[in-house]
């Protein structure tokens, strides 16, 4: 049924839905909620904290309005017996009239910190007697959330939706999963927490199962590769030229990868390791091995900054050995781009390092034999398989990740890959000391920064936003630069953010690396790959706005030299912040990060194709992981079984439809 046949779908909202890819009523039901509001799970005002999405019951104490930078701001102070909090709404002047002084209401919204005090940002206001569980769908511009929910209800009532269960009945019985139809109903219209939990588990099981089946099929169909001569003797010139000795962990992982290269079954290996463990050197050794075997290699990084840094390092380490290194990113244009494309096609380039620009159709390779992708979690399987198809024979593939994932998780997430872990840091590396710094102690932190600069050391200050915004009261990079220049006159402070052109970012990073700047204030563009050994202090503004794994990545930008390094988290003490301060083990941090995520974050995988995110957020559910693996084994144990064959075909079709994988046909 066409979407315009629903009640309440006018021209404006029809266009909004079409922009979101929704043309038929059944598509509303395949678009799952991204979260849920449990109106009965309420927090006392005195227990609210920054970063929390909260439901709280409170009385209205006073209201006011103001005009700021063209915005109408409506404020309300509300309270209960445990404390009071300010609420703010933007361009909603009617709020002041609708909030009756003394009325008790239910507020639902994000708690933020503004100028040292907590406030609720644009909270939803509901009658105090509101109860139950309500789904929260991914937002669509020009479509109010309640309106969208009404359309979903209409779509369900109209019927005509294919509710065929893709899971065989034997699997549903074995693992106590509800039927597809009842799970779908519970996801959209949860009547109880138990029903919702069962539906979420069913959806997670199905997504993981289809993903794992598809990955296993991909590996089986990878095709013949090129067996290389690959041992320590072949790469010894590279190893001898290094200005340091490899650690035992680096040697172990390198030998595993070299062994893979000697087989005509294409290597498919994930190298995991904490920040600074030396994964990149292992990758460069494999690029050199490809060169010694007369074939080309490519290394793909997720950002221009990281790709450029790898390019400079590859030139430093590989070009003296005769390797011809090229770069290819979106910033490479004109004559340099034409020359690089021609060199790759003719074979005059041995190694190319770049971003996703490496996989566009215009890039042709003469004899691509080895591929390395860095920060694998940022690409996904689809981009990786697109790059693999650039080789005439199936190329060997190494993927690297500095995002720690528990081994059992990695086995599920990267089901098509073997796994190596570099679990040893280079000698002499000191642990970065981490401290939580509340706003009241900012002046003391600035004093520490100033002393570090006087000793000739450098520092990063990372902010979540580029420019100040009334809509988001996080410290912005541009405002922080102004504030710090006032607090520390004479200190050389540079600004870098994602909106800058690549050339400007490279200039700023180059200046910082050359110690032409003392402090680099930046957004998370420096999260991966920046290596300045003289930088000994990392300050993270509004640290609660970052995930633990992201904070761990940021912390890894310091501690790269032989001096003691520090990380200051600008935040109030909380369980998340205390976890960061108590350990430097990325795997412990990753596990804690996943434990603290709410179940609503598991949503939205069916239509987006981001199965990786779904898997990562289920890391703590070891039972579910084990059950999925059991189901996969039972399917492949009897591939000719009619139900199993149908499930395998469905899995491949679904993953391709979601854009998760690229067909090799």
Q: Model confidence over 591-625: pLDDT tens digits?
A: 676 666 533 332 222 333 334 444 444 544 667 77
3-class SS at 126? strand
Position 81 pLDDT exceeds 90:
yes
CA distances for 411 relative to 218, 293, 415, angstroms:
15, 31, 5
Position 525 pLDDT exceeds 80:
no
How high is the pLDDT of residue 554? 85
Q: What are phi and psi of 268, to 5 degrees?
A: -140, 90
- Domain boundaries, position 67: 41-130
Q: What are phi and psi of 468, to 5 degrees?
A: -65, 140
643 domain-assigned: no
Average pLDDT over the chain, rounded to an integer: 82
418 lies in the same domain as 443? no
454 lies in the same domain as 366? no
Residue ending a domain, choose from 130, 153, 168:
130
Q: Model confidence over 191-248: pLDDT tens digits?
A: 988 999 899 889 888 888 888 888 777 766 656 778 899 999 999 999 999 988 999 9
7 domain-assigned: no
Query: Distance between CA atoms of 572 and 579, rounded to whole angstroms?
Result: 13
418 lies in the same domain as 468? no
DSSP 8-state class, residue 565: -
Position 384 pLDDT exceeds 60:
no
Query: Distance between CA atoms of 93 and 392, rounded to whole angstroms?
Result: 63
Query: Distance between CA atoms of 525 and 397, rounded to whole angstroms?
Result: 26
Q: Model confidence over 644-657: pLDDT tens digits?
A: 999 999 888 887 77
424 and 247 Cβ atoms separated by less than 8 Å: yes
Residue ending a domain, choose from 548, 583, 618:
583
518 and 453 Cβ atoms separated by less than 8 Å: yes
The alpha carbon dihedral of 369, 374, 376, 379 has a sign of: negative
116 lies in the same domain as 54? yes
DSSP 8-state class, residue 140: B
317 domain-assigned: yes
What the block records as the tokens of 221 is: 């169909």
- Mean pLDDT on 40-60: 90
413 lies in the same domain as 484? no
Place of tokens 């993953």: 655
- Mean pLDDT on 305-329: 90
Count of other CB atoms within 10 angstroms of residue 116: 10
346 domain-assigned: yes
Its pTM stands at 0.64
458 lies in the same domain as 416? no
350 lies in the same domain as 386? yes
500 and 506 Cβ atoms separated by less than 8 Å: no
Longest dimension (CA), the chain: 81
How high is the pLDDT of residue 463? 84
Count of other CB atoms within 10 angstroms of residue 627: 20
Query: Distance between CA atoms of 662 and 370, rounded to whole angstroms?
Result: 19
418 lies in the same domain as 482? no
648 domain-assigned: no
328 lies in the same domain as 400? yes
Q: What angle do helix axes 622-637 and 642-657 make, rounded to 10 degrees?
A: 120
What CATH number corresponds to the domain at position 57?
Answer: 2.40.50.140
386 lies in the same domain as 447? no
437 lies in the same domain as 416? no
Please, is 395 exposed, middle or buried when counting C-beta atoms within 10 Å of its C-beta (0-12, 13-18, 19+)? buried
168 domain-assigned: no
574: left (phi over 0), alpha (psi -120 to 50) or beta: beta
Residues in the chain, overall count: 665
- Number of domains comprising the chain: 3
Place of tokens 């109030």: 572
Residue ending a domain, choose from 130, 163, 195:
130
276 lies in the same domain as 417? yes
5 domain-assigned: no
Count of other CB atoms within 10 angstroms of residue 448: 17
Please, is 84 exposed, middle or buried when counting C-beta atoms within 10 Å of its C-beta (0-12, 13-18, 19+)? middle
The DSSP code sequence of 420-467 is EEE--PPTTPPPPEEEEE-GGGHHHHHHHHHHHHHTT-EEEEE-SBSS
How high is the pLDDT of residue 254? 95
Please state the three-class secondary structure of 469-487 as a single string.
ECCECCCEHHHHHHHHHHH
- Mean pLDDT on 510-520: 89
How high is the pLDDT of residue 599? 30
Query: Distance between CA atoms of 485 and 493, rounded to whole angstroms?
Result: 7
CA atoms within 13 A on the CB side of 315: 8
What CATH number corresponds to the domain at position 342?
Answer: 3.40.50.300
Please state the three-class secondary structure of 380-422 as a single string.
CHHHHHHHHCCCCCECEEEEEECCCCCHHHHHHHCCCCEEEEE
- Mean pLDDT on 100-118: 86
3-class SS at 356? helix
Place of tokens 């301060």: 581
Query: Distance between CA atoms of 399 and 386, rounded to whole angstroms?
Result: 14
410 domain-assigned: yes
């Amino acid at each position: 049924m066409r979407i315009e046949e629903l009640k309440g779908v006018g021209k404006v909202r029809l266009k909004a839905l079409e922009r979101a890819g929704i043309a038929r009523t059944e598509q509303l039901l395949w678009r799952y909620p991204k979260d849920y509001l449990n109106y009965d799970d309420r927090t006392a005002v005195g227990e609210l904290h920054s970063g929390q999405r909260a439901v709280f019951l409170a009385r209205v104490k006073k209201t006011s309005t103001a005009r700021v930078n063209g915005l109408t701001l409506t404020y309300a102070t509300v309270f209960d017996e445990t404390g009071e909090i300010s609420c703010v709404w933007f361009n909603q002047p009617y709020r002041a009239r609708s909030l009756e002084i003394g009325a008790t209401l239910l507020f639902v919204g994000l708690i933020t910190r503004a100028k040292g005090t907590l406030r609720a940002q644009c909270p939803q206001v509901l009658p105090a007697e509101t109860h139950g569980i309500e789904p929260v769908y991914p937002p669509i511009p020009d479509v109010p959330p309640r309106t969208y929910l009404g359309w979903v209800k209409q779509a369900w009532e109209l019927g005509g939706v294919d509710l065929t269960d893709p899971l065989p009945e034997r699997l549903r019985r074995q693992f106590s999963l509800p039927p597809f139809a009842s799970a779908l109903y519970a996801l959209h219209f949860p009547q109880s927490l138990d029903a919702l939990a069962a539906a979420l588990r069913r959806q997670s099981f199905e997504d993981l199962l289809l993903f794992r089946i598809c990955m296993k099929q991909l590996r089986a169909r990878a095709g013949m590769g090129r067996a290389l001569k690959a041992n320590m003797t072949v790469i010894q010139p590279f190893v001898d030229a290094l200005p340091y000795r490899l650690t035992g962990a680096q040697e172990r992982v390198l030998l595993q990868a070299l062994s893979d290269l000697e087989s005509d079954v294409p290597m498919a290996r994930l190298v995991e390791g904490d920040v600074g463990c030396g994964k990149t050197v292992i990758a460069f050794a494999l690029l050199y091995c490809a060169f010694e075997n007369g074939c080309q290699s490519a290394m793909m990084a997720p950002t221009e900054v990281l790709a450029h840094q790898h390019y400079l390092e590859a030139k430093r380490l590989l070009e003296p050995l005769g390797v011809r290194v090229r770069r290819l990113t979106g910033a490479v244009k004109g004559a340099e781009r034409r020359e690089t494309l021609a060199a790759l096609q003719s074979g005059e380039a041995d190694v190319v390092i770049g971003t996703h620009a490496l996989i566009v159709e215009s890039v042709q390779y003469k004899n691509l034999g080895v591929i390395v992708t860095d920060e694998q979690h940022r690409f996904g399987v689809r981009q990786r398989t697109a790059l693999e198809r650039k080789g005439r024979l199936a190329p060997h593939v190494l993927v690297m990740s500095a995002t720690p994932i528990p081994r059992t998780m990695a086995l599920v997430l990267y089901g098509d890959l073997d796994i190596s872990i570099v679990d040893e840091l280079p000698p002499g590396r000191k642990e970065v000391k981490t401290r939580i710094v509340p706003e009241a102690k900012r002046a003391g932190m600035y004093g520490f920064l100033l002393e570090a600069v006087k000793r000739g050391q450098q520092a990063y200050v990372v902010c979540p936003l580029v420019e100040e915004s009334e809509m988001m009261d996080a410290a912005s990079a541009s405002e922080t630069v102004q504030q710090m220049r006032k607090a520390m006159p004479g200190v050389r402070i540079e600004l870098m953010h994602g909106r800058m052109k690549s050339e400007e970012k490279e200039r700023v990073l180059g200046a910082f690396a050359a110690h032409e700047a003392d402090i680099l204030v930046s957004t998370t563009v420096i999260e991966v790959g920046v290596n300045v050994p003289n930088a000994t202090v990392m300050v993270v503004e509004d640290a609660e706005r970052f995930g633990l794994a992201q904070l761990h990545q940021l912390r890894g930008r310091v501690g790269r030299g032989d001096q003691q390094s520090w990380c200051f988290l600008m935040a109030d003490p909380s369980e998340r912040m205390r976890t960061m301060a108590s350990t430097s083990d990325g795997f412990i941090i990753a596990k804690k990060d996943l434990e603290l995520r709410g179940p609503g974050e598991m949503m939205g995988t069916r239509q987006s194709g981001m199965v990786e995110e779904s898997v990562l957020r289920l890391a703590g559910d070891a039972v579910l992981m084990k059950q999925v693996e059991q189901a996969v084994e039972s399917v492949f144990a009897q591939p000719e079984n009619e139900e199993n064959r149908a499930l395998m075909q469905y899995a491949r079709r679904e993953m391709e439809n979601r854009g998760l994988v690229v067909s090799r046909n």
